[in-house]
């Protein structure tokens, strides 16, 4: 978990830096109307010349900045390595991770007796996290154009939990496939929908066609309106298959870990584009 906190701290520093830069840019833009009233700007001259290799004047600086960020992130990743919690979770629960660099989807699969279980979630769920930036001062512009501190926001020492929407699919021979749409918050799992689909492909495929077909299937009764005994049995059904609080905590940690790797990959692709 410490590695995760360090990773979030790294992410927070990047976001804080970009926030500061946006603030400076915004302040500059606000000052332009006053500048235009007093300074005669030179007329724009049109040019038909094509920049060398199609690059803009900022591209060299941007490439240098990207390289610095790549080196920093690569060093952090090399020092931390793969966190131990991934292997520990796999050994304890039997789930096997399936994910690819450059893709936001993550799948975990396991066998439970004759059942094939697939749990799927998305790295974009990290967007549900509370603002992780620490010690951010918020400024407004006074009537005189001066920056005046308006508020200060401080995050907690450790990141808060964030809600995750995910699915769990249960398939076994000779039976319709049970497909659950779930959400977790503060370690508590809620059931949104329980559907039955004709086969495992119909339940787990990420194609637009299959996704549309799933939306046409009866979503099941409102879980909260079921009898208490039935709700308790369904909860136990999930817990026996390791669909529990430990799973939701693992998903949070893995999302944060994978997001760091995706960010580094994104930086490299960005630099490759700029340098082309």
Q: Is 148 helix (H, G, I), strand (E, B) or coil?
A: strand
Q: Is 61 helix (H, G, I), strand (E, B) or coil?
A: helix
DSSP classification of residue 261 = H
- Tokens 């900045």: give the residue: 65
What pLDDT does residue 162 have? 86
Burial 231-264 (b: 16+ CB within 10 A, else e): eeeeeeebeebbbbeebbbbbbbbbbbbbbbbbb
- Picking from 158, 67, 163, the residue whose alpha carbon sits closest to that of residue 122 is 163
What pLDDT does residue 125 have? 86
- Picking from 98, 99, 95, the residue whose alpha carbon sits closest to that of residue 112 is 95
What pLDDT does residue 250 have? 95
Pairs from 129-133 (Cβ < 8 Å, separation ≥ 24): 129/159, 129/160, 129/162, 130/155, 130/159, 130/160, 130/162, 131/155, 132/8, 132/11, 132/12, 132/15, 132/159, 133/12, 133/15, 133/16, 133/19
What pLDDT does residue 3 have? 40
Distance of CA 234 to the CA centre of its chain: 29
Q: How far is CA 15 from CA 20, 22, 97, 124, 251, in A?
A: 9, 10, 29, 16, 22
Q: Is 242 helix (H, G, I), strand (E, B) or coil?
A: coil
Torsion of the alpha carbons at 261, 108, 110 and 237, rounded to the nearest 10: 140
Going by their DSSP bridges, the two strands 177-185 and 188-197 should be labelled as antiparallel
Q: What is the mean pLDDT of each run of 10 residues along the chain (276 residues)?
A: 40 41 34 40 46 72 95 92 91 94 94 96 83 49 56 48 92 95 92 92 86 90 94 96 95 93 95 94
Please measure the distance between the N-terminal and C-terminal CA atoms of the chain and give it in whole angstroms: 39
DSSP classification of residue 160 = P
What pLDDT does residue 85 have? 94
> Structure tokens of 209?
């066609």
């Amino acid at each position: 978990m410490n590695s995760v906190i360090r990773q979030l701290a790294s992410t927070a520093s990047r976001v804080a830096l970009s926030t500061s830069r946006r603030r400076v840019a915004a302040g500059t833009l606000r000052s332009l109307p006053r500048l235009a009233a007093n300074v005669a700007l030179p007329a724009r001259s049109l040019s038909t010349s094509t920049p060398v290799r199609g690059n803009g004047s900022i591209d060299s600086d941007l490439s240098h900045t990207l390289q610095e960020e790549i080196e920093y992130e690569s060093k952090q990743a090399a020092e931390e390595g793969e966190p131990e919690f991934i292997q520990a979770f796999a050994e304890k629960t039997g789930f096997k991770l399936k994910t690819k660099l450059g893709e936001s989807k993550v799948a975990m699969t396991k066998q439970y007796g004759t059942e094939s279980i697939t749990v799927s979630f998305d790295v974009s769920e990290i967007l549900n996290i509370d603002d992780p930036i620490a010690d951010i001062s918020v400024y407004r512009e006074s009537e005189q154009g001066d920056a005046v501190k308006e508020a200060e926001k401080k995050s907690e020492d450790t990141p808060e939990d964030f809600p995750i929407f995910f699915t769990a699919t249960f398939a076994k021979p000779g039976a319709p496939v049970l497909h659950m749409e779930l959400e977790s918050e503060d370690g508590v799992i809620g059931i949104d929908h329980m559907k039955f689909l004709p086969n495992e492909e119909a339940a787990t495929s990420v194609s637009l066609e299959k996704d549309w077909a799933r939306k046409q299937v009866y979503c099941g009764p409102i879980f909260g309106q079921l009898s208490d005994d039935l709700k308790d049995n369904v909860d136990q059904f999930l817990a026996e298959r390791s669909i529990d609080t430990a799973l939701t905590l693992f998903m949070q940690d893995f999302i944060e870990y994978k997001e760091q790797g995706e960010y580094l990959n994104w930086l490299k692709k960005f630099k490759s584009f700029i340098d082309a």
